[in-house]
Amino acid sequence: MLQVFLFIFAVFLVARLALYLVTRYHNARGSGKRFKRALQQGRLDAGVYEGAQWDEIEHFGRKRLRAKISKQQQQAIKRAKAKMREDFLDDNNPGFYQYIIIFLIASVLGLVLEEVWMFIQFGVLESRVGLVWGPFSPLYGVGACLLTAALWPLRKRPWYLIFPLSMVLGGCLEQFAGWAMEYFVGAHSWSYLHLPDHITQWVAVRFLFMWGALGLVWCKVIMPELIYRIGEITSTRQMVAVSLLTAFMTLDIFMTFACFIRADARREGVPPANGFEEYVDRHFDDDFISATFQNLTLPGDEAKSYASEDKA
């Protein structure tokens, strides 16, 4: 557990450092979208360039002036940006648009982190995706959306309220996901039965504490910044993009369920009953499942030696 937590914490620190360096550069140069937005909203004025040094640079064959803002004015920029961010978060609750983006980001990043962790911990390179199309692990996406919905009203509350709620939410999510996979398709992706602190097959005390810590960091650090950077839909292009993404993810999830339902039926010797089921059997057969969902154990499969240890 400690290794998992330290790995996630290290990735978080690297991401925060990169974001800090980019923000510091923008503040020092008087640039960036958030700086321009603060100017447009009247939170900053031309006085922000008072005492600045100007250099002429050439960028893609065009010359332009670049400012180097004084330390005092950089502090004014930071305060204006912080107030703009808090005002936005106070006035805007997460909606469908934000949840779709959060789901996609968490599904991809969660999968990448899991793949990297499995390689570091066990030297294993395998496909650990959760859907038939695309690099998505929907459990992470659902978890991020669940934490956002539950913790958004608590983002300014003390940690001792957020931590236990995150533990409960994470435990319930793992329990439901593990049970649903076994009940509906007879599949297993992880098990904690080998751990001395397991509560059920899919819930262990050590990972409840990790969920609590993750929820606290999500609520206090990641979620507000992510919601602010996603912003709101301001153009038809954004509306079309999120609509297409929603349609694709809906189809992807539907086809994944169809894939495993037919896999279970094939094991029972049930032939396809219509053209759609024939299509599923042709394009998502047992070889496809084995190659795509390599960490998944289905009835009749030989147990993978690391399948029950990937989160230990």
Tally of domains within the chain? 2
Residues 134 and 280 in one domain: yes
- pLDDT attached to residue 312: 42
The burial class, CB within 10 Å (0-12 / 13-18 / 19+), for 141 is: buried
Does residue 299 share a domain with residue 156? Answer: yes
100-157 tens-digit pLDDT: 999 999 999 989 888 888 888 778 888 889 999 999 999 899 999 999 999 999 999 9
Structural domain including 283 reads 92-233+264-312
The answer on 46 and 185 residing in a single domain is no
Indicate if 181 and 297 belong to the same structural domain: yes
Are 195 and 311 found together in one domain? yes
From 89, 116, 144, the end of a domain falls on 89
Condensed to tens digits (0 to 9), the pLDDT of residues 225-283 reads 999 999 888 889 989 999 999 999 999 999 999 999 999 899 889 999 999 999 999 99
Judge if 69 and 210 occupy the same domain.
no
43, 58, 89 — which closes off a domain? 89
Q: Which of 50, 69, 89 is the last residue of a domain?
A: 89
Together in a domain, 38 and 156: no
User: Does the residue 256 lie in any domain?
Assistant: no
